[in-house]
């Protein structure tokens, strides 16, 4: 059985919920009370020494980090549509996973945590990072439907949640028409699931 150590308002957890649902994989969630500090409990630190969610437990195999979990699920359960054989395509997917963990996390995701939960951040730096990454992604999607190749991949799943949650960080996502068109394509996928706070058309 797959168990996702989860927090309903976490975009990182949503990446995993979205892929599990797109793959139609049965799973259960185990909520981790982040406000109460449960992520720093000895039990959770054994699962993830960084004291964060998401963590996946697949019949005793523990995987931490949203990007790593997407890789695991795509390779283990997804077939070549989700984990291509081609080295160049895989490298492109890895590049976007890296963007999700860096620029998207330090731009739109950080602004959201600040606006929604009051975390102190350097708002000017996060704003600059957000503008840059949103512009790059919007231009990238001008001539292609998906971030990599000609079908959805874990690159899209990794980048999507914090872009769709960007309005909660005070960002005007409607200024990026190619991103909005990509939102619509993602939302039309069989098995798509949303979460509270995501951009509404």
Ligand X SMILES: N[C@@H](CCC(=O)N[C@@H](CS)C(=O)NCC(=O)O)C(=O)O
Which of these, 92, 172, 170, 99, lies nearest to 136 by C-alpha position? Answer: 99
Q: Annotate each residue in 66-95 with x if it binds ligand X (CB under 6 A) or - if it does not, as one string.
A: xx----------------------------
Looking at 12, 99, 106, 129, which residue binds ligand X (CB under 6 A)?
Answer: 12
Which of these, 174, 173, 182, lies nearest to 146 by C-alpha position? Answer: 182
d(CA 47, CA 45): 5
Q: How far is CA 142 from the centre of its chain?
A: 21
Plot region of 41 (φ>0 → left; ψ -120 to 50 → alpha; else → beta): beta
Contact segment (CB under 6 A) with ligand X among 46-54, 81-89, 134-142, 145-153 equals: 46-54
Judged by CB, which is closer to ligand X: 7, or 19? Answer: 7
Q: Is 37 exposed, middle or buried (0-12, 13-18, 19+ CB in 10 A)?
A: exposed
Minimum distance of ligand X from residue 101's CB (angstroms): 5
Task: Looking at residues 95 to 134 of the shown chain, list those that interact with ligand X (rule: CB under 6 A).
Answer: 101
Contact segment (CB under 6 A) with ligand X among 45-53, 75-83, 134-142, 148-156 equals: 45-53
Contacts with ligand X by CB under 6 A lie at 7, 10, 12, 34, 39, 51-54, 65-67, 101
């Amino acid at each position: 059985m797959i168990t996702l150590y989860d927090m309903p308002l976490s975009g990182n957890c949503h990446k995993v919920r979205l892929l599990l649902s797109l793959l139609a994989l049965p799973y259960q969630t185990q909520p981790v009370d982040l406000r109460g500090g449960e992520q720093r409990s000895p039990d959770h630190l054994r699962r993830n020494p960084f004291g964060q969610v998401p963590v996946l437990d697949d019949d005793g195999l523990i995987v931490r980090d949203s990007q790593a979990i997407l890789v695991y699920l795509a390779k283990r359960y997804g077939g070549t549509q989700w984990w291509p054989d081609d080295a160049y395509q895989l490298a492109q997917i890895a590049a976007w996973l890296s963007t999700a963990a860096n620029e998207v996390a330090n731009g739109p995701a950080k602004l959201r945590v600040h606006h929604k939960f009051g975390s102190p951040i350097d708002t000017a730096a996060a704003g600059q990072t957000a503008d840059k990454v949103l512009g790059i992604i919007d231009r990238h999607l001008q001539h292609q439907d998906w971030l990599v190749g000609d079908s959805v991949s874990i690159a899209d799943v990794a980048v999507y949640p914090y872009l769709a949650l960007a309005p909660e960080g005070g960002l005007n996502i409607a200024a990026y028409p190619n991103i909005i068109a990509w939102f619509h394509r993602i939302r039309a996928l069989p098995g798509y699931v949303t979460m509270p706070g995501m951009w509404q058309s």
